[in-house]
Amino acid sequence: MSDVYILGVDMIKFGRFPEKSVAELGAEAAQMALADAGVSIQDIEGLWCGNLMQASNMVGQQVLQQIGQTGIPVVNCANACATGATAFRDAWLSVKAGIYDLVLAVGVEQMGKGLLGGVGGRKGIPKEGLLGSATMPAVFAEAGMEHARKYGTTFEQFAKVSVKNHHHSTLNPKAMYQIETPLETVMNAEMISYPNTKLMCSVNVDGAAAAVIASEKKAKELGMGRAVRVKASVMTSDPFTERDLVMPDVNTCTRMAAKNAFEMAGVGPEDIDLVELHDCFATAEILHYENLGLCGDGEAGRLIDDGDVALGGKTPVNVSGGLLSKGHPLGATGIANIYEVSTHLRGEADKRQVEGAKLGMTHVIGLGSACAIHILEKV
Amino acid sequence: MSDVYILGVDMIKFGRFPEKSVAELGAEAAQMALADAGVSIQDIEGLWCGNLMQASNMVGQQVLQQIGQTGIPVVNCANACATGATAFRDAWLSVKAGIYDLVLAVGVEQMGKGLLGGVGGRKGIPKEGLLGSATMPAVFAEAGMEHARKYGTTFEQFAKVSVKNHHHSTLNPKAMYQIETPLETVMNAEMISYPNTKLMCSVNVDGAAAAVIASEKKAKELGMGRAVRVKASVMTSDPFTERDLVMPDVNTCTRMAAKNAFEMAGVGPEDIDLVELHDCFATAEILHYENLGLCGDGEAGRLIDDGDVALGGKTPVNVSGGLLSKGHPLGATGIANIYEVSTHLRGEADKRQVEGAKLGMTHVIGLGSACAIHILEKV
């Protein structure tokens, strides 16, 4: 089966845009991705749209109304924090299947400020269900503390993740924040759920990102100069049964997905030049170093101490600023990650460029729902 | 590219189940489809779930919790009345792409009684937007009256659609209603929006349906005895721009989809042995006879008068009872249609069997959003 390519990809600067509609935000990113690919909406054969919070409202069709109602199929996908990546993946499937040659994936979210609802407290999900009513900060604090108890990981090491990602975001004009946060500032910020202070929690923002996905045939026709090859696209969900769980497992579905992704791409973690991973909390990033195979179990603390995961290190992680500083508009995040990695593979990341990047990985996880990993390759 | 097959498909009896959760309803249908295919959830590599009204709530993952958390990818799709068909289609794409050999599509909806909200009145969609605040009954009444003005279609002809579909449903134990409704009863029922009386409007019910979709390789391995071939799977959306619209167009996206579906399947309307089409209102069924090519423009009134679309006629339509009598649980409808057609192709439709059915068509349309058509073939 022939390869599938990203021909255009972009994102709006993340921020707070209460004066705009979710459709306007999505349309803006869609237009940018189309322009980046050098195509028009008339060339597009299908649209997959990821949006979580207005998922019953046909956001994809609203976006298409804004950019041109050409009569193409529109699919709306929702998958917790993996919403955008899910839309991208189903769009990818349609090209991989040989049904379409050129499709568009859009991820968009308009969020309020402040804490998201408890995992088990969403409308329609019984509170006494699988995940109880643990809040996201509580779940990721406990997961971090488990790592600390097992491997001696320190508060300072967790905090360094946030220092790093905030530093990265000072080099990314599309990040929500461009502010250095020294270690002391991070550690002394308001404690949300130990060991994560407020500066170690991802930022609720509005955002949108989009990608134009093409068959090999179409990519050759339109020009492969800036194309990015999709080497692997995998998803998993939480593999446990109710009986096995005290707190939700934040590791296993990522480990499964990473294994599948490396197999599909025919590469290993040592081949990856940069990673955009799901740092919804600083503790989560530490766990995912190990879950994604960037280091062995128990070595994540050393990895952040040694600077291996910082820009200039062996495998820079979240050079965009990550969810911690670029921001985390749920439905947009998956495609924003793909934008970031693609930008490096194209050599267009300016001040934050990972030099010589040939292979990159994106990772998102919707807790208890879905993990999605993509491995992208410079053409 | 090799063919894709339906190996198992089933639906729960549609009705009102306020005591059950949406996940329980979906899980029930999923288990039935798995049993029908003779496989277990352990054999399934991916789940696509269609649900509209709780689309932000990860209904697919809730279903998987009930039937076995195996760690497979779960995707949630929402697409107005085409929600279930969309989930089926994205699942089909994953097999067509060669990524999976055996996947599950589930459609489920738990609905209140009474009138759905206005088209433009849904949360997050500006009321002054594309479709104004016209209610669904108003839109389909006007579309029927346009047909009446143009072709002389009568109130009686529209009403006969409902008489036919209610009669069909007396032969379908899974329909919400099994009651004969004579022409006088239909015409004298409470007028909702002329020419549609209450008995000419689809029924809001709870329901769920599911299908097991397989690659050719897997179908051969598991046995092709009762398999159904997916000959075409197409989608379109509303092709117009705001300027062109006074009332929403309920015809064009179906015409586009039908053309594409016949092309993909390499057949014509004359080859189709039965059709499950989107009779959200009696007027809609009349329009779709022409939109799907079952007759020429202006001939739909004759078609219902002559009994061509009744069981025993040339091309029976909505032998299940249709949305008018079987019921219309939005997210479930697309897959329930696929269940009905598959059951006839398998020769298992008992009293309502369309004799010798070899090729069938399903059609759903989410107004202003999505039209999906599938053509299925007896193996």
Q: Average pLDDT, stretch A161-167?
A: 98
Q: Average pLDDT, stretch B284-296?
A: 98
B162 and B105 in a common domain: no
| Burial (0-12, 13-18, 19+ Cβ within 10 Å), B48 | buried
A317 in a structural domain: yes
In angstroms, rounded to a whole number, what is the distance separating the alpha carbons of residues A93 and A87? Answer: 10
A129 in a structural domain: no
Please give the positions of B annotated as active site.
81, 328
Bridge partner residues of A213 (DSSP): A6, A103
A80 and A35 in a common domain: yes
Q: Is A241 at the interface with chain B, CB within 8 A?
A: yes
Q: How confident is the model at residue B131 (pLDDT cuts 50, 70, 90)?
A: very low
Q: Average pLDDT, stretch A3-9?
A: 98
A169 and A143 in a common domain: yes
Q: Average pLDDT, stretch A62-84?
A: 95
Q: Average pLDDT, stretch A164-169?
A: 98
Residue A81 token pair: 């924090």
| % residues pLDDT > 90 (chain A) | 86
Residue A26 token pair: 């999505």
Q: What is the pLDDT of residue A116?
A: 56
Q: How confident is the model at residue A242 (pLDDT cuts 50, 70, 90)?
A: low
Q: Is the pLDDT of residue B125 over 90?
A: no
Q: Is the pLDDT of residue A133 over 80?
A: no
Average pLDDT, chain A: 92
Q: Is the pLDDT of residue A290 over 70?
A: yes
pLDDT tens by residue, A205-226: 999 999 999 999 999 999 999 9
A219 and A82 in a common domain: yes
B24 and B99 in a common domain: yes
CA distance B235 to chain A (A): 5
pLDDT tens by residue, B44-82: 999 999 999 999 999 999 999 999 989 999 999 999 999
Please give the positions of A annotated as active site.
81, 328
In angstroms, rounded to a whole number, what is the distance separating the alpha carbons of residues B297 and B289? Answer: 9
B70 and B171 in a common domain: no
In angstroms, rounded to a whole number, what is the distance separating the alpha carbons of residues A151 and A129? Answer: 31
Mutation test of the interface with chain B: which of A19, A20, A56, choosing the one with the most B Cβ atoms within 10 A? A56
Q: How confident is the model at residue A248 (pLDDT cuts 50, 70, 90)?
A: confident
Q: What is the pLDDT of residue B245?
A: 55
Q: Is the pLDDT of residue B243 over 50?
A: no
CB contact under 8 A, B125 and A22: no
Q: Is the pLDDT of residue B254 over 90?
A: yes
In angstroms, rounded to a whole number, what is the distance separating the alpha carbons of residues B196 and B135? Answer: 13
A189 and A310 in a common domain: yes
Residue A323 token pair: 């969810």
Q: Average pLDDT, stretch B93-102?
A: 98
In angstroms, rounded to a whole number, what is the distance separating the alpha carbons of residues B260 and A210? Answer: 27
A289 and A265 in a common domain: yes
Q: Is A202 at the interface with chain B, CB within 8 A?
A: no
A39 in a structural domain: yes
Can you give the residue range of the structural domain that contains B64? 4-113+205-230
**In one letter, which amino acid is A200?**
M
Residue of B nearest to A100 (CA): B93
A243 and A151 in a common domain: yes
| DSSP conformation letters of A241-296 | -GGG-SS--SSHHHHHHHHHHHHHHT--GGG--EEE---SBHHHHHHHHHHTTSS-
Q: How confident is the model at residue B111 (pLDDT cuts 50, 70, 90)?
A: confident
Alpha helices in B132-269 (DSSP H): 136-151, 155-169, 183-188, 216-222, 252-265
Q: Average pLDDT, stretch A117-131?
A: 39
Q: What is the pLDDT of residue B115?
A: 56
pLDDT tens by residue, B319-341: 999 999 999 999 999 999 999 99
In angstroms, rounded to a whole number, what is the distance separating the alpha carbons of residues A373 and A365? Answer: 9
A225 and A144 in a common domain: no
Residue with tokens 């009598």: B325
In angstroms, rounded to a whole number, what is the distance separating the alpha carbons of residues A186 and B67? Answer: 43
Task: Provide CB contacts within 8 A for B58, sequence distance 6+.
Answer: A78, A79, A80, A125, A366, A368, A369, B74, B76
Q: Are B258 and B266 in contact (CB under 8 A)?
A: no
Q: What is the pLDDT of residue B62?
A: 93
| % residues pLDDT > 70 (chain A) | 91
Q: Tell me, what's the ipTM?
A: 0.94
Q: Is B185 at the interface with chain A, CB within 8 A?
A: no
Q: Is the pLDDT of residue A246 over 50?
A: yes
| DSSP-based three-state secondary structure for B10 | strand
In angstroms, rounded to a whole number, what is the distance separating the alpha carbons of residues B274 and B362? Answer: 9
B123 in a structural domain: no
B338 in a structural domain: yes
Q: Is the pLDDT of residue B119 over 50?
A: no
How many contacts does A have with B, using Cβ atoms within 8 A? 176
Q: How confident is the model at residue A128 (pLDDT cuts 50, 70, 90)?
A: very low
Average pLDDT, chain B: 92
B42 and B165 in a common domain: no
Question: Poorest-confidence range of A246-250, B6-10, B212-216?
Answer: A246-250
Q: Is B58 at the interface with chain A, CB within 8 A?
A: yes
CB contact under 8 A, A58 and B256: no
Q: Average pLDDT, stretch A69-97?
A: 97
A128 in a structural domain: no
Q: What is the pLDDT of residue A134?
A: 67
Mutation test of the interface with chain B: which of A54, A59, A64, A93, choosing the one with the most B Cβ atoms within 10 A? A93
CB contact under 8 A, A237 and B62: no
B248 and B218 in a common domain: no
| Residue of B109, B25, B6, B9 lying closest to B333 (CA atoms) | B109
A125 in a structural domain: no
| Burial (0-12, 13-18, 19+ Cβ within 10 Å), B14 | buried
CA distance A57 to chain B (A): 7
- What is the phi/psi pair of residue B102, to 5°? -150, 115
In chain A, the number of structural domains is 2
Q: Is the pLDDT of residue A18 over 80?
A: yes
Q: Average pLDDT, stretch B10-15?
A: 98
- Please report, for the domain that includes residue B209, its CATH number: 3.40.47.10
Q: What is the pLDDT of residue A129?
A: 39
Alpha helices in A152-269 (DSSP H): 155-169, 183-188, 216-222, 252-265
In angstroms, rounded to a whole number, what is the distance separating the alpha carbons of residues A81 and A370? Answer: 8
For the entire predicted model, the pTM comes to 0.95
Q: Is B368 at the interface with chain A, CB within 8 A?
A: yes
Question: Poorest-confidence range of A117-131, A296-310, B130-144, B263-277?
Answer: A117-131
A127 in a structural domain: no
Q: What is the pLDDT of residue B135?
A: 78
